[in-house]
Structure 1
Amino acid sequence: MGDQKNPNDKRVADAQRAHWQATYTQHPQMYGTEPSEPARHAAEAFRAAGAGTVLELGAGHGRDALFFARKGFTVHATDFSATALEQLIAAARESGLADRITTTVHDVRDPLSVPDASVDAVFAHMLLCMALSTKEIRAAMDDIARVLRSGGLLVYTVRHTGDAYDGKGIDHGDGIYEHGGFAVHFFDEALLKSLAQGWKMHRVDAF
């Protein structure tokens, strides 16, 4: 009984998937074409570590995946929005980067269809702080560890409890609050430290 998912968690997850699909449909390339600052930092860290392959989780319409490809990495991008990935594929073709990028529709709540120890680096910008329970976040971290090669790097960003919106909006429990249709899990320091168990944490920056 303890392993069964809360039915409310599934309802929230399904609602979020539909919301993101509609958002990407109504606002193509909603985040623009310039890479995020975390992606710029990650590219430098990945290159310094000698990485060649990057798995991006929650890639959206692909501004960071395209950036990684332009920097010479082979990129596999995942997102639970098929609409967003279609936009990414189109942009990759237009940019001449289609040979460096592959995509898979994937919900981070499910195991990755990626072989063990097969990627050099993983990048997840604002994915793990979506409408995921703490248990689901831990499972996702375990799966990321599974697919990373020995010594591989994970760079991820999340919204935290210092955020002005933490504790406001619709309370879904487990640190998840919904604002304007978007549900966010706000991370505290204890959660960050617990997720780092079994990992070598290189640095934590306020973002």
Structure 2
Amino acid sequence: MHEDHGHGHGHELATAQQHHWQHTYTAHPGMYGEQPSAPAAHAAEVFRAAGAEKVLELGAGHGRDGLYFAREGFTVQATDFSPVGLGQLQDAARSQGVAERVTTAVHDVREPLPLADASVDAVFAHMLLCMALSTDEIHALVAETRRVLRPGGTFVYTVRHTGDAHYGTGTPHGDDIYEHAGFAVHFFPRTLVDTVADGWHLKEVHAFEEGALPRRLWRVTQTLPR
């Protein structure tokens, strides 16, 4: 059920989340390790099969997935709202010898993407869409993703969903957003996955678990019409 807490509250929450992630990346450099996430490994196979070369990662953090894409031969544009995380990504890209295939941009996903229309072949976002974004902001971000993807391009994203153990607990912020230990999550109902895919080809909604809780997520693959 949608509950509108107003634009001011949403901006305040987003700003607080940005500061929280900045602090987290500073306190725990490379906090997710160097191994790619399972969704990124899957996405690389899907992107390669589709003939993709240029990959945009939204919410790249310190880069374990973006660097993996680069090591796999893709050209990667990595965005995140944390300059600290992206600095760690750039350092790692140099040490891994893939700096020439990786570019970074500090970006708040509530703003238009700093990319030209139809300029990338594939987009990847691991748990970025389920951060402290309103439903309207999620739809705006997906519209921007559609704008920068070439016709036939592929979008792979993961989100925690309403079957997750943390859904409905912690501090509620409305619009299916709940906060635990300083991290706010927008838990996706299946209806949101379907509306996000409006105008796309929805190829797969794969349920999986990650972490010790465990977190329950969907890995969604959708493509643009050619």
Scaled by the length of structure 1, what TM-score is found? 0.97
Aligned to 2:95: 94
* In structure 2, distance between residues paired with 1:89 and 1:112: 20
Distance 2:99 2:195 in 1: 38
1:89-128 equivalences under 5 Å are 89-128=90-129
Give the C-alpha shift of residue 6 in structure 1. Answer: 1.0
Q: Displacement, 1:111? A: 0.4
After the TM superposition, which segments of 4 or more aligned residues of structure 1 sit over 4 Å from their partners?
Answer: none
Which amino acid in structure 1 is aligned with residue 162 of structure 2? T
- The equivalent residue for 2:152 is 151
After TM superposition, the score normalised by the length of structure 2 is 0.89
Q: Distance in 1 between matches of 2:142 and 2:11?
A: 20
What is residue 196 of structure 1 aligned with on the other side? 197
Equivalents in 2 of 1:106, 1:121: separation in Å? Answer: 18
1:6-21 equivalences under 5 Å are: 6-21=7-22
> Deviation digits for residues 83-111 of structure 1, max 9, x if unmatched?
00000000000111100000000011100
C-alpha offsets along residues 164-205 of structure 1, whole Å, 9 cap, x if unaligned? 000000000000000000000000011111111011011100
Matched-pair identity in % = 65
Amino acid at match of 1:11: E
- In structure 1, the gaps of 5 or more residues are none
| Cα distance in 1, alignment partners of residues 171 and 115 from structure 2 | 35
| C-alpha separation in 2, matches of 1:6 and 1:80 | 19
Structure 1 residue 73: deviation in Å? 0.2
The one-letter amino acid of 1:61's match is H
Point out where structure 2 has 5 or more consecutive residues left out of the alignment. 1-5, 209-226
Q: Partner of 1:25 in structure 2? A: 26
Matched, 1:83 2:77: no
Q: Distance in 1 between matches of 2:72 and 2:196?
A: 29
For 1:89, the aligned partner's letter is Q
Q: Deviations over 1:35-81 (max 9, x none)?
A: 00000000000000000000000000000011000000000000000
Distance 1:190 1:202 in 2: 16
Letter in 1 for 2:31: M
Letter in 1 for 2:36: P
Quote the RMSD (CA, aligned, Å).
0.6
Cα distance in 2, alignment partners of residues 202 and 190 from structure 1: 16
Q: Say which structure is richer in strand.
A: 2
Aligned pair count?
Answer: 203
User: 1:48 and 2:33 equivalent?
Assistant: no
2:70 equivalent in structure 1: 69
